Amino acid sequence: MFLGGAIGLEREIKGKPTGLRTNILICVGSALLSDISVRVGIQADGSRIGDPGRIAAQIVSGIGFLGAGAIMQARGTVTGLTSAATIWVVAALGIAVGAGFFVEAAGTGMLVMITLAWLGRLEPRVRRFKRTVSMTVRAKPGTSLEEIARVLNAAGIRVMEQQTFDHPEDRVFELRLSGPARQFDIVTESLLRRDDVLGVHGA
C-alpha cells in the first residue's frame, strides 16, 4: 500500500487517470498474487511442486491490458504512455514485495518517485531546446501549404523543406521543421483542431 500509494499520490496530484487508489490496488494485488505464487506449491515436508513463477508471469502479461486502457489515441496523437508505464512498474513493485525482495522494491520505488516527480520538472527545460524533426501532415484535398505553414509559424516553427503529394482522398505534406522542442506538441494539437487536417505524424 505504501509503495503503490506513494506513486499513486504523485499521479493524483498531477491529475492523471491512474491515481492513488488505482496504483494501490495494482501494487497490493500483485503482491498478493506473487506471495501465493511462491507459497502455493510448497508441501508439508518443505518440497515444492510446480513453477513458483507461473502466477507472477501472468501478472506481467496481464497488466498490459490495464496499460493499454490508459493509452488514448486521437487523430494521430498518443497520450497516457507515462501512466501505462507507471501501471507496469507498480505491478513490478508488487511482485517484488510479494516475493520477499523488500530492499529491491523500496529502492525501485524511490527511483520511480524521482523519475515521476523530479525529472518531470526537467522536461520543460529540455523542451526549450531547438529540434529539427520530420512531420507528415495529412489534409483534405485542396489544402494549401500556406495554411499549414501559418499555424507552424505562429508557434515559432519554421518549414525548412517540404514535399506535397496529392491523392484522390487527401493531400499529404512531408515537412522538415525546426523550432523549440516544446512547441511541437502544441502545434500538433493546433493542426488537429483544424477541420481540413486529417492526421499529423512524426513530430
Q: Which of 19-23, 71-75, 157-161 is predicted least confidently?
A: 71-75
What single-letter amino acid sits at 64? G
* Cα–Cα distance measured from residue 51 to residue 153, given in angstroms and rounded to the nearest whole number: 60
pLDDT at position 108, please? 92
* Cα–Cα distance measured from residue 105 to residue 153, given in angstroms and rounded to the nearest whole number: 47
Give me the DSSP letters along 72-123: EEETTEEE-HHHHHHHHHHHHHHHHHHTT-HHHHHHHHHHHHIIIIIHHHHH
| CB count in 10 Å sphere of residue 154 | 12
pLDDT at position 39, please? 81
CATH top-level class for 130-201?
Answer: alpha beta
What would the pLDDT profile of 163-197 be if each residue is shown by its tens digit? Answer: 999 999 999 999 999 888 778 888 888 898 899 99
Residue 166: beta bridge partners? 171
What would the pLDDT profile of 84-133 be if each residue is shown by its tens digit? Answer: 888 889 999 999 999 889 999 999 999 998 888 877 676 666 656 677 88
Checking if the pLDDT of 61 tops 70, the result is: yes
CA angle (54, 27, 103) in 5-degree steps: 85
What are the boundaries of each domain within the chain?
Answer: 2-126, 130-201
* Cα–Cα distance measured from residue 193 to residue 199, given in angstroms and rounded to the nearest whole number: 10
* Cα–Cα distance measured from residue 155 to residue 149, given in angstroms and rounded to the nearest whole number: 10
pLDDT at position 59, please? 86
Checking if the pLDDT of 17 tops 60, the result is: yes
